[in-house]
Amino acid sequence: MNKRILFISGSIGLGHVTRDIAIANELRAVRDDLEIHWLAAHPASFFLQENGETLLPEAADYLDENLIAESASRGFKLNLWRYAMDFRRQWQHNIDLVHRVTARDKYDLIIGDETYDLATAFRERPHLKKSPFVMIYDFVGFEAMTRNPLEQLGIYVMNRMWAAGFPHKPAAYDLGLFVGELEDVPDRRFGFLLPNRRTFALSRYKFVGYILPFRVEEYRDSHQVRADAGYGTEKLIICAIGGTSIGRELLEMCGNAFPFITKNIPDVRMILITGPRLAGDSINVPEGVEVREYVPSLYRHFAACDLAIVQAGGTTTLELTALRKPFLYFPIEGHCEQEKYVAGRLARHGAGVRMRLSETTPRSLAEQVVRNLGHKPEYPAIPIDGAATAARHIVDLLAR
């Protein structure tokens, strides 16, 4: 009899669902008796269907965290605490939906990628957990990004919830997976009188390394990659903002920098990727700048480019690091995961050039582009077999 898995891809954008599919594919490679059903909101749901995955009908009613994040953003700023508070007020909807699904159909395992709503529900109401539960993380604890006393208190409460019961009570999940390395976890407390984050992570999570949706060795031949992607010998700049509409200002900044870039590098081509949630005709760009909306397998275009300009998305910057491409990255301002954790990881790897949109002009951006375009970086090797490692841990749990 097949083993049935409910896989919930719960984070915003597209980065998480790409790694979730990579894990699912590795699971199928290890065991041929698995039946995987999915819950996710748009655009992850679209991506799952595009890849032939089985999306449950209830996915159409799954709470769209992207809408919450987009409505909480102010231009290129998103305070993660405010977003989390908005989501917290609505997440009972998802808990009820998952409960209906698991009450109707029996699953041998539930996997949640950053499904904090579900993990909290299972901790507070254990009777809701009908199957062993795997939780996937890529950062540990929140950070206050302002001096606002209300935010400081809110972050403390959220971190206290994160570390609840440690070390005396077991976690709500049966297996915690951390996508990354131990050094990605700050060696400091969650807060006053709260446990050390790295000690907590070592006790609660299995570290699997990083996860890519492609094999890096297949993209080392840049000439072949460019030919396969339909590019010529011109200098190529790819600008992308990820799976939400947050980032319009960044793309328009890139477009406005293009005339300054061409003064120094005449043979240059700039392509703006708006992604699946921002209409291409909604941004204003000068003549000569190309605009595309959703692009499948965006990593192919990163592999072909001479320089990338991106948000500080964890998956996007990881792909560029693994491909050893020069890139400029702009953390969404106020977004503690991007400003603290992703930026910290990139600094540790010596990858990319950190920028701040509110302190950047088209001319200063052009100067950085000219300085870094075509540079051949030598980032250190990073562990990229995370999907296979995660699959092994999950299969071990299934066997138990």
DSSP lists the bridge partners of residue 109 as: 5
- What gap in Å lies between CA 72 and CA 67, rounded to an integer? 8
Segments in 230-297 forming alpha helices (H): 248-264
Per-residue pLDDT of the chain (400 residues; tens, 9 = 90+): 899 999 999 878 888 999 999 999 999 999 999 999 999 999 999 999 999 999 999 999 998 887 777 787 888 887 777 777 777 788 899 999 999 999 999 999 999 999 999 999 999 999 999 999 999 999 999 999 989 998 999 899 999 999 999 999 999 999 999 999 999 999 999 999 999 999 999 999 999 999 999 999 999 888 899 999 999 999 999 999 988 889 999 999 999 999 999 999 999 999 999 998 999 999 999 999 999 999 999 999 999 999 999 999 999 999 999 999 999 999 999 988 999 999 999 999 999 999 999 999 999 999 999 999 988 999 999 999 999 999 999 999 999 8
- What gap in Å lies between CA 356 and CA 291, rounded to an integer? 23
Cβ atoms 240, 275 nearer than 8 A: yes
Query: Does the N-terminal peptide bond of residue 383 adopt cis geometry, omega within 30 degrees of 0?
Result: no
- Supply the pLDDT for residue 83: 77
Half-sphere exposure of 352 (CA within 13 A, CB side): 30
Domain positions in the chain are: 3-211+384-399, 216-372
- Supply the pLDDT for residue 372: 97
3-class DSSP assignment, residue 24: helix
- Supply the pLDDT for residue 69: 77
- Supply the pLDDT for residue 220: 86
Q: Which of 309, 316, 297, 299 is nearest to 219 (CA)?
A: 299
C-alpha separations of 142 from 156, 166, 308 in Å: 8, 17, 28
- Considering the entire predicted model, what is its pTM? 0.95
What is the fold, at CATH topology level, of the domain defined by 3-211+384-399? Rossmann fold (3.40.50)
- Supply the pLDDT for residue 85: 77
- Supply the pLDDT for residue 122: 95
Which distant-in-sequence residues (6+ apart) come within 8 Å of 116 by Cβ?
Answer: 10, 91
Q: Identify the CATH homologous superfamily for domain 216-372.
A: Glycogen Phosphorylase B; (3.40.50.2000)
3-211+384-399 and 216-372 in the same fold: yes
- What gap in Å lies between CA 266 and CA 226, rounded to an integer? 19
3-class DSSP assignment, residue 4: strand
- Supply the pLDDT for residue 77: 85
